[in-house]
Amino acid sequence: MARYPAGHRSEVRASILRAAAELFRAGGYGATGVDKVMAAVGKTAGGFYAYFRSKESLLAETIHVAFAESRRLLITEDDPAEPVQRLSLYLRRYLSRQHRDLADSGCPFPALLPEVARSGAEAREALQKEVDAFAAELSGLAARISRKRPVQDAQVVGDALVALSVGAIALARAAPGRVRSDQILLHARHAAEALTGIPVVRAPDAKPREVTEAEATERAVHED
């Protein structure tokens, strides 16, 4: 019997998780068999159950791994501690063209939600745990931005930000054209900024609306 060095089993298990995370997002959980996952790490399908109880258990753990990896891309140690700047930077990263185009390595939620919805309790609970952690982090920043906001509203804002962010990325990726896709991302970011009290920054190419004759007359009356 071949003897492996200490830590070999853990390394193989970790490699299976990484491969599964990539394959599930690229091809879908339902369409990706255990044999394909194991082949990606140079192993046979027969050895799968030495590492995981079931394919759904693999999916559940994959969710945690994928979220941790995507979080490192979206939030770094060098990000500002000031809540307005930190949340604004997060929104600009998440609701960006680059993140939209990184379907295989960005946030796993948009790709995995439909798959998890058709899965069992284990995968659903794993996803919900990550959603709650995601929402808690965002709601914490939102609460610091607006300290007058009641505590119970912080969770509402956190859940809304997650739904808005994830939904916008999913819609932007599905949009038939780049122009409409870009609009979805921009509008979602402005909505998120308005929801949290972050000053909305106009797009560089946005021009001020022309003042109508009626508005000019009304202003003149008030100034008099």
Q: pLDDT digit string (tens) for 7-52?
A: 778 999 999 999 998 898 888 888 999 999 999 999 999 999 999 9
Can you tell me the mean pLDDT for 53-62? 94
Give the pLDDT of residue 202. 53
> Rg (Cα) of the chain, in Å, rounded?
23
What would the two tokens of residue 198 be?
A: 């972050």
Residues of the chain with pLDDT > 90: what percent? Answer: 42
Give the pLDDT of residue 171. 96
* pTM: predicted TM-score of the whole model, two decimal places: 0.74
Predicted confidence (pLDDT) at residue 2 exceeds the cutoff of 60:
no
Does 73 or 132 have the greater pLDDT score?
132
Give the pLDDT of residue 211. 37
Which of 45-54, 57-66, 209-218 is predicted least confidently? 209-218
Predicted confidence (pLDDT) at residue 203 exceeds the cutoff of 60:
no
| Cα 51 from Cα 35, distance rounded (Å) | 14
Predicted confidence (pLDDT) at residue 174 exceeds the cutoff of 70:
yes
Average pLDDT over the chain, rounded to whole?
82
Nearest CA among 136, 179, 186, 178 for reference residue 158? 136
Residue 106 identity: G
Exposure string of 115-137, with b = 16+ CB inside 10 Å and e = fewer, is bbeebeebbbebbeebbeebbeb
